[in-house]
Structure 1
Amino acid sequence: MKQIIVHCRDGSTQVALLEDRVLTEFYTEGPAEKQLVGSVYMGKVVNVLPGMQAAFVDIGLEKNAFLYIDDILPAHMDKIPSVKPPISDLIRPGQHILVQVAKEPLGTKGARITTHFSLPGRWIVYMPAADYVGVSRKIGSEQERSRLKEIAERMRRPGEGIIIRTVAADETQAALERDLNVMRSEWEDIVRRSEKSAAPALLYKEPGVLERVVRDAFTDRVDELVIDDPVRGEILVRRVREISGELANRIRIYRGLEPVQVAYRVREQLERAMKRKVWLRSGGYLVIDRTEALTVIDVNTGKYTGTDDPEATVFTTNAEAAEEIARLLRLRDIGGIVLVDFIDMSSDKHRMDIAALLEQSFSRDRTKTFAVGWTKLGLMEITRKKARESLDDSMMTVCHTCGGSGKVAVERKTYPRKK
């Protein structure tokens, strides 16, 4: 059973995704907080750094955005030169350039931008200059993948790129064409506005969190979408009905006495998942520590004593931890490098089984996540695409007393020196 629970209050929106009543994804957006990834700007090149093959571009944010040479060269692999030209041959200071935000500003770093534009629709992702067709690998049927690829090749104009999304499986060509025409028209509007705008200028803004989740996650596999704002709920029903009358019938306005996040145990599960120490059902636990460069997760048996076979006990704990780690990375939106110190296993088969279980659990994550493998020290290395601020950073702040270490200096008594 899959559910989407939406809580709206004072201009803020919080969206929770539940699978079998277990919290798997959570997004929050305040009245002044809008996602930058996907937004298109007319920027002005501030300076070019030949030594780094990169440039800084003013797009109107607090910090200048970072543009790397790979994000200027053609998106299609066949068109990328074998030897990259100097970036100073491609752009110059003072030049106006159309760009799209690829990564949110994080910490002291500004946003990362690209000239490889992509506009996501309901069924497709439209790329005006990519010149290729791709089909989601999560569509299992090879026959269906071939059918969708043939449709996309027929629909696209020369030079255009199209990626068929997972939710497009079994959709008709007419539905895909309607989606493409909307995205194509949106892009043409962006280009027209860019010709009249002085840099820096925002030309296209990604939709809000509710609209994005409905677009990307509200499929026929979702049993219900519950929202506690009657006004926004009615607007949502009308918009979804344009896509699917059946999906519109699955939207329900919540009118219960207790808050919707309490009724569906969203708040309770979120508080438990955000802690440094997360308990497993068996009695084992995880310890999650984040640094600027990576995240480290330690697996412990804790209260779980298991059976008379120590190896079986260890494997059971590690298997449960693997599934929970996949859920927590997705829920807390932790990106970058992740190192997991599973409990030592003597069996190579068990190690392979844990790696396979991680990959299987990652397949449910809409963000690209890979189990790279075991290091020489016996740690599992994981990478997860990092495009925006994690839930830890958006919902928590560094403690002013300990400075983020989690420890406070012990006050020791001092004694006067003897004369």
Structure 2
Amino acid sequence: MKGRTIVLDHIEGREAAALMVDGKLDDFLIAGDAPPPGTIYRARADRPVKGQGGMFLTTPDGPAFLRQVKGLAPGALLLVQVTGFAEPGKAIPVTDRVLFKSRYAIVTPEAPGLNISRSIKDEDERDRLLEIAHEVMADSAYGLILRSCCVGADADDIAEDIGAMLTQAEQVLNDPGTEPETLAEGDGPHILAWRDWTDPVDVVTEAGGFEHHGVLDALDIARGSAEPLPGGGHLYIEPTRALVAVDVNTGADTSLAAGTKANFACAKTLPRALRVRGLGGQITIDMAPMPKKDRRGLEQALRAAFKADGIETTLAGWTPLGHFELQRKRGRIPLSEVLR
């Protein structure tokens, strides 16, 4: 099936959203038990961790950890926002740079100024969007970023989105409470799909959509370790307590170029495979054997693939044993933790 389709449904009683591209599962979001990224707390500073330069905080959902803290005394109240999912037994990762994000607009209380996404090049469009931003933001001291999907969007829809985020920001930042409290819930999968999957797409909301559109079959593959590669090879993706191990297998191909072909296929496939499985942290790839002269080209292919992925990923490079290492933000809940 050609084209892009967003399927909104539930699985095992959990809200979930799937993005199908040309009949293949390209992205998947599912609600977990942990507070989702974007949740905003009024938290209380608990105790510093001097060796790590951070502070443990008290929140309604348990302990949180804030990095790079300066001048924050135990007992102080502050606003923080959840940035990702914690590993089992660890504190919730948070930041004190709170953002209010929707489909078209991001309100940035600590970064004043009106900004347009740099990917929007057309000057007339930029001028149109700036006019909308000035009209809605008026004399607000908060900052604003208009996202790339604003191109061609209806002015009233953009203005409504900016106004909603501005109102939410004012309510949260001016809340008079004096105890740890949840001030805003992070978006669930259906809202995230509307917010972040902005390319032209068909949307399916009927119950049973996952089964009808092949999402359940794709999830069966994602719940296993094997991910097929073009050309007959496979990736084997094994999460461990310390890291995610990825093994590139050439399959039945025994030609001299088999390793190189499988490794370049891995570069194209791996971002989607990790994204769908919700995997992050340290990732070590055991590449198939190939000449060292091909390493630079492979690294460029990996860099291009992860740049288009949207989830923050750092390419650490090659190890002395010939493995390739990545560091990826834990922005998703692992599929294996919510689907059994």
TM-score, normalization: structure 2?
0.86
On the 8 A contact 1:133/1:149 being kept in 2, the answer is no
Q: Measured at CA, do residues 266 and 362 of structure 1 come closer, stay the same or move farther in structure 2, by a change above 3 Å?
A: same
| Identity level (%) | 25
On the 8 A contact 1:344/1:378 being kept in 2, the answer is no
Offset of residue 328 of structure 1: 0.3
Q: Secondary structure at the match of 1:289?
A: strand
Query: Within 5 Å, which residues of 2 pair with 1:17-416?
Result: 17-29=19-31, 33=33, 35-61=35-61, 63-70=62-69, 87=70, 90-131=71-112, 135-136=116-117, 139=119, 141=121, 143=123, 147=127, 154=134, 159-171=141-153, 175-192=157-174, 194-195=175-176, 197-217=177-197, 219-222=198-201, 224-229=202-207, 259-306=208-255, 310-311=256-257, 313-346=258-291, 348=293, 350-396=294-340
Code of the aligned partner of 1:19: V
Q: Secondary structure at the match of 2:9?
A: strand
Code of the aligned partner of 1:340: I
Q: Secondary structure at the match of 2:110?
A: coil
Q: Measured at CA, do residues 372 and 68 of structure 1 come closer, stay the same or move farther in structure 2, by a change above 3 Å?
A: closer
Code of the aligned partner of 2:56: F
On the 8 A contact 1:283/1:301 being kept in 2, the answer is yes
Question: Residue by residue, what CA displacement relative to the aligned partner does 1:307-358 show, whole Å, maximum 9, x if unpaired?
Answer: xxx13x322222222222122011112112222122222162x333322332
Note the residue ranges of structure 2 that are not aligned, 5 or more in a row. Answer: none
Code of the aligned partner of 1:221: P
Q: Which protein has the larger Cα radius of gyration, Structure 1 or Structure 2?
A: 1
Offset of residue 136 of structure 1: 4.3
Q: Secondary structure at the match of 1:64?
A: strand
- Greater relative contact order (Cα < 8 A, sep 6+): 2
On the 8 A contact 2:268/2:305 being kept in 1, the answer is yes
Q: Secondary structure at the match of 2:37?
A: coil
Give the Cα separation in 2 of the matches to 1:140 and 1:290: 38
On the 8 A contact 2:19/2:26 being kept in 1, the answer is yes
Residue matched to 1:240: none
Give the Cα separation in 1 of the matches to 2:241 and 2:126: 42
TM-score, normalization: structure 1?
0.71
On the 8 A contact 1:66/1:111 being kept in 2, the answer is yes
Give the Cα separation in 1 of the matches to 2:270 and 2:163: 40
Q: Measured at CA, do residues 133 and 390 of structure 1 come closer, stay the same or move farther in structure 2, by a change above 3 Å?
A: farther
Note the residue ranges of structure 1 that are not aligned, 5 or more in a row. Answer: 71-86, 230-258, 397-419
Offset of residue 144 of structure 1: 7.7
Q: Secondary structure at the match of 2:295?
A: helix
Give the Cα separation in 1 of the matches to 2:262 and 2:49: 50
Offset of residue 149 of structure 1: 8.4
How many pairs are equivalent? 336
Higher strand fraction: Structure 1 or Structure 2?
2
On the 8 A contact 2:38/2:187 being kept in 1, the answer is no
